[in-house]
Amino acid sequence: MAILEKKTYKGLTEETAIQLVKELELFPVHAELTAREIGDGNLNYVFRIASEENSVIIKQALPYAKVVGESWPLTLKRAKIEADALVKHGEYVPAFVPKVFRTDEDLAITIMEDLSHLKIARTGLIEGEYYPNLAKHIGQYLAKTLFHTSDFALHPFEKKRLASAFSNPELCKITEDLVFTDPFFNIDTNDYEPELQSDVEEIWNHTELKIAAAKIKQSFLTEAEALLHGDLHTGSIFASEEETKVIDPEFAFYGPIGFDVGQFFAHLVFQVIVRKGEDREIIVNQIDEVWQEFYSVFSELWKSKGVDPFTKVDGYREVFLAKVFDDAIGVVGCELIRRTIGLSHVKDLDGIEDSAVRLKAKRAALSLGTNLILKKASIKTIKQFITTIEEFTA
């Protein structure tokens, strides 16, 4: 029986993955196909199906987290959210997301463009590569996806329809817990090197910091400004010198615009922390560039496509973008802290072999993160942000 007709979820194998693309006639009838499971995450299968001339990717959500066997059940609805977000964002930035050929909600799959010729940006950056277009492209990606899905661009009925369609409670809860809650409390999920014990306790005992973090969490919980990617770190980006493709929007939901901006900033900051000299300056300049590009493209769209009468009021755009910047700086702080002492780390830091260097880098991440959360009201420009980064990571 044809796989799609069964209408029930079943994990694909390399064999059934080939059968599926044949059913869908994604390749010529007599093409010789090979399939390989290339996933390295723990939440999904990723199959690459190739003929001599062509290839596609099938991503299938698993109903549990692989890393802990079947003990951590996960909603398959995230596959639909991911596919729908790729399609929705693709309307505005077709160059920066993979093409989607087919989705199936029952099987929890998305069949999409194969991007194997590109490298995951985090991997390349850790290897010291430089992606000259990365900052400009992500600045455009952020401006276009976020402006076009906001109340500034959409009829309020369409905005609210999308906000309900992209309601994503299970994946949001992961962020609510791992980014905005657990690292600030003595909670089991936290994971940090024993040498950081006193740094960590300083955070747990810092009431002013926790109040500031609570406000950032509340913004994430309540502010439905635009359709976010929701997990925009450098591991969610394929890149080459020319191309940039943003993948994996399974955390997509309506949230504060500054969240996506801040998360991307944070993962560039990790590179600033681990790099030296000119290599470091390149990344510092990219932080500046992503904001400049975001600001300028968002502003152009606001002027040319704003539908709310208030978009015509002189000065409101600057006030709104200052709010986005403030939100973003707070998110950078939370992300720096949580990737250092929370459940989910980054290879940028954990991969440093020399333990003295690694601990120094982690302490820099913690003190910069703390400072950004506490002092964000006084960091009003990208230059001041960069000065603050330099101050804590030099």
Q: How far is the CB of 256 from a copy of itself (least distance, A)?
A: 8
Other CB atoms within 10 A of residue 112 CB: 21
Nearer to a copy of itself, 215 or 383 (CB): 215
314 binds a copy of itself (CB under 8 A): yes
Nearer to a copy of itself, 130 or 185 (CB): 185
305 binds a copy of itself (CB under 8 A): no
Of 17, 125, 172, 379, the one binding a copy of itself (CB under 8 A) is: 172
Of 38, 67, 307, 313, the one binding a copy of itself (CB under 8 A) is: 313
CA 329 to chain centre: 16
Nearer to a copy of itself, 48 or 159 (CB): 159
- Cα separations in angstroms, 256 against 81, 216, 221, 301, 344: 18, 10, 9, 18, 22
Residue (of 299, 264, 275, 242) closest to 115 by Cα position:
242
3-state secondary structure of 160: helix
Q: Which residue has the tokens 């009468």?
A: 309
- Cα separations in angstroms, 235 against 74, 254, 258: 21, 21, 19
Site string for a copy of itself, 109-128 (x = CB under 8 A): --------------------
Candidates 102-110, 114-122, 161-169, 385-393: pick the segment binding a copy of itself (CB under 8 A): 161-169
CB 286 within 8 A of CB 135: yes
Q: How far is the CB of 80 from a copy of itself (least distance, A)?
A: 15
303 binds a copy of itself (CB under 8 A): no
164 binds a copy of itself (CB under 8 A): yes
3-state secondary structure of 270: helix
DSSP state letter for 73: B
Is 191 labeled as ligand-binding? no
Is 59 labeled as ligand-binding? yes
Half-sphere exposure of 126 (CA within 13 A, CB side): 16
Backbone angles phi, psi at 188, to 5 degrees: -50, -35
Q: How far apart are CA 23 and CA 37, in angstroms?
A: 19
225 binds a copy of itself (CB under 8 A): yes
Is 339 labeled as ligand-binding? no
For the record, the structure tokens of 64 come out as 């549990």
376 binds a copy of itself (CB under 8 A): no
202 binds a copy of itself (CB under 8 A): no
Q: How far is the CB of 243 from a copy of itself (least distance, A)?
A: 33
Of 34, 36, 70, 185, the one binding a copy of itself (CB under 8 A) is: 185
Residue (of 178, 221, 161, 133) closest to 340 by Cα position:
178
Q: Which residue has the tokens 């690292």?
A: 183
Is 248 labeled as ligand-binding? yes
Q: How far apart are CA 292 and CA 382, in angstroms?
A: 8
For the record, the structure tokens of 174 come out as 């992961």
Of 103, 181, 286, 388, the one binding a copy of itself (CB under 8 A) is: 181
307 binds a copy of itself (CB under 8 A): no
| Residues annotated within a binding site for substrate | 231, 338
Footprint of a copy of itself (CB under 8 A): 151, 156-157, 159-161, 163-164, 167, 169-170, 172-173, 176, 181, 184-185, 187, 207-208, 210-211, 213-215, 217-218, 221-225, 308-310, 313-316, 319-320
| Residues annotated within a binding site for ATP | 44, 59, 113-115, 248-250
